[in-house]
Amino acid sequence: MSRQKRLKLRRLDEKFAICRFHPGTTPLPWAHSAKFLSVTRTEDELSIVCPVADVPTKCKAEAPWIGFKLLGSFTFYEFLTSIVEPLAQADIPIFAISTYDTDYVFVKEEQVEPAVDKLQQAGHRVVG
């Protein structure tokens, strides 16, 4: 980790679900009231990441995921190499979301403790 920047991550308070819908689905009103929401549409699907409590009953979803927000300033490659690499080496699956200002990484709830351990071993600071 000598050339990579040490990053600070904050654990998000809620548990999340990754939902899959038909690509022509219009995002439902429930999806717009969440404190954290990510909507991605491709020609193949509509994916929505939202709190577990907001998942509709007739929806293909995987949960629970725990989210971590990267804090501070960093470049795109720092996120990819500094965060994803130690988790991948430990066989910890992730789901990543990037916004204009920051990045989020999600791990399955049962992988949270090993993920935090690996991130701290890589020199990162995890708070919350």
- Fold for the domain defined by 8-127: VC0802-like (3.30.2130)
What is the C-alpha separation between 1 and 82, in angstroms, rounded? 8
Q: Where are the domains of the chain?
A: 8-127
Q: What pTM, to 2 d.p., does this model score?
A: 0.89
Is 87 within 8 Å of 118 (Cβ atoms)?
yes
For the chain, which residues score pLDDT lower than 70?
1-4, 30-32, 75-80
82 to each of 7, 74, 78, 108, 112, how far by Cα in Å? Answer: 8, 10, 5, 19, 17
Instruction: Summarize pLDDT for 55-90 with one digit per residue, the tens.
Output: 888 889 999 999 999 998 776 666 667 899 999 999
